[in-house]
Structure 1
């Protein structure tokens, strides 16, 4: 049949997979359940490993141009004192790439633009994936709500499941797995109107609460408020609730909330795959991104790990080995690293945002006494990653169109 792939899900990981597979010479169809991609979302930070992966996909330069480097800031207490300073320039010197902040919608658009017209199909819901025939996968689809796209049955040599933390594909492939678990924290976030900020990036830790922001290149900022609490709680007036929760905390927290339109606030409970998957591959189906290793946001590595997945998968397939061998190599390379980062993110949350009571004072004292380079070394631990090389555009005979 040829190298034909269907990517399920058009989030950051799915789009990156589509780009990478095309670079590897595959014909790619990306299907997305949402009828319209409305570019909803707030902002996102990308560490050096994510930027390097995007470079390998050929979109790193455009992302850098649309992003703002994160050089100044760090971690503070609610009263405003510094627990740790961030030296973004030192990180860039060590890694060869900066940490950047970019609106999620902008990143999504840049990834979409790197795919050829006609390869992304919206309003298509995948209802089943059958890989019982060796060497072939059959994908059953139907139009999603409010879509005029007819149902279809697609034959492929490979399916990439990038359908998120609540992945239906993962649930079907691993029916004994418990699926995503609530982390104990919920997050509210938004993009502000333009305002002046003194730092590029800040996180403030209180008791069971975190407030952070990243500055964006157009003068806006993304802020997030992460709170301990039960799942499912929502507020009629989210901004009012946050003003009450963070009353007395240092500026610019109040100014960030004041610069936010009420309708811009997003609220999501944080779920993760606390039980690691036994494999990222089942037959000719590869799991990628949150579908494979959904993690808490405490290290800012979720999107970076998804893009890493996409590059490693494409590189394994481009090496010329048969598809099954390539998928085994992808699982062997990606599963240990991604699951290790997910574990580290969970631990970071427990000693950071989720911590409460007398232990907070002990943690703060330890951070103040820590060597100045400790924060840099902690970030290097996860961001110091070199992607495998992908074929340059045009060096592989592509089957697209």
Structure 2
């Protein structure tokens, strides 16, 4: 079987590494070295680390070495009132990690560099006489074809070109929440370390340190009925007003973040939180989708890249055992549906009329913690 992988992000790189000995070619749209500092930071859940520990021990060790441990999750009000403080080892077998996107890409792509063709952007799909899929790529030298593939894997992210060519553009559902992201590199005086969230009403800051002395900050706030991000909100003054308590000064952590927003507002990446329907395969099983290309979800529990890890590892196991795209769906889709629904449930405090303190109190209850334990430990 000849397998082509579109995209060498998290799922694509892990799949390519797991199919050693197969006839595999991976295609990446960026050139080698491009976007070395792209992106910001992310947290990867204990379930991804378990998947790697059980199946890719070298990658598990490399990820641990390149990251900081994610050991705690705390939730405060913007004035510093603590609502929730969880040691992840109460619900997981090992901590998660905190890392920069650029470093994650580096360590996952290195083992598959030999089978990767860079600067190949998928342009179109054709078929050969045997009914195999022939991807057409735009490269710096023009359009190129690399013959037919028995299986094409779309691991090219939320806006997957392979998925759109094989099955049409998915219809996304906006959740009415703006999410913005910022990486602060001058962060030696940051007054916190591990994964924290700070609420002012339903507006939330999320932040943690990542390697290299940097700090990742993300903000969310509810949008109006038109689901658009007003330009007026993309200012330091508007964000300061959004996250400053009405009747108390901001706690030191929030004050530090507000100062960084003031200094770096022009560098913030703005987006709207959305989901798309799950699609695991198309074209009679000749196209398979993994990670965000298959299952883009809300980022509340940090399961985007985490589920991409699970996808890459488990899909490789299934294909090595002789399975096909349908077998990957059997192995993944029920698990993904649980994660998507639990992530949506955990997003309740981001939107009115949910009261943040009441919603957070539910996260301390046994049934919620049991779901966290299922999320973090029930990995194939």
TM-score range, shorter chain: 0.7 to 0.9
SS in 1 for 2:244: coil
CA shift, 1:281, in A, is: 4.6
State which drifts further: 52-61 or 286-295: 52-61
2:324 to 323, 326, 331: 326
Q: C-alpha separation between the residues in 2 aligned to 1:344 and 1:45?
A: 17
State which drifts further: 199-208 or 58-67: 199-208
Normalised by the size of structure 2, how large is the TM-score? Answer: 0.86
1:219 to 210, 213, 216: 213
Q: C-alpha separation between the residues in 2 aligned to 1:129 and 1:281?
A: 13
Query: Is this contact kept in 2: 1:131–1:284, CA < 8 A?
Result: no
Instruction: Return closer, same or farther for 1:157/1:67 CA change in 2, 3 Å cut-off.
Output: same
CA shift, 1:330, in A, is: 0.6
CA shift, 1:259, in A, is: 4.0
Structure 2: gaps of 5 or more residues: none
Structure 1: gaps of 5 or more residues: 388-401
CA shift, 1:222, in A, is: 0.9
SS in 2 for 1:380: helix
CA shift, 1:88, in A, is: 3.0
Matched length: 363
Give CA-to-partner distance per residue, 1:297-347, whole Å, 9 cap, x none.
01111111111111111111111x2xxx43221111111211221122122
Q: C-alpha separation between the residues in 2 aligned to 1:30 and 1:196?
A: 40
Query: Is this contact kept in 1: 2:198–2:254, CA < 8 A?
Result: no
Query: Is this contact kept in 2: 1:12–1:303, CA < 8 A?
Result: yes
Give CA-to-partner distance per residue, 1:337-374, whole Å, 9 cap, x none.
1122112212221x2222x246445435555xx45x66
1:108 to 105, 108, 130: 105
CA shift, 1:87, in A, is: 0.8
Q: C-alpha separation between the residues in 1 aligned to 2:357 and 2:12?
A: 42
Instruction: Return closer, same or farther for 1:100/1:285 CA change in 2, 3 Å cut-off.
Output: same
User: 1:191: which partner in 2?
Assistant: 183
Normalised by the size of structure 1, how large is the TM-score? Answer: 0.82
Residues 221-300 of structure 1 correspond to what in structure 2 (within 5 A)?
221-229=215-223, 230-234=227-231, 238-248=235-245, 249-259=250-260, 262=264, 263-273=266-276, 275-277=277-279, 279-282=280-283, 283-300=285-302
Q: C-alpha separation between the residues in 2 aligned to 1:374 and 1:339?
A: 18
1:379 to 357, 365, 372: 372
User: 1:312: which partner in 2?
Assistant: 314
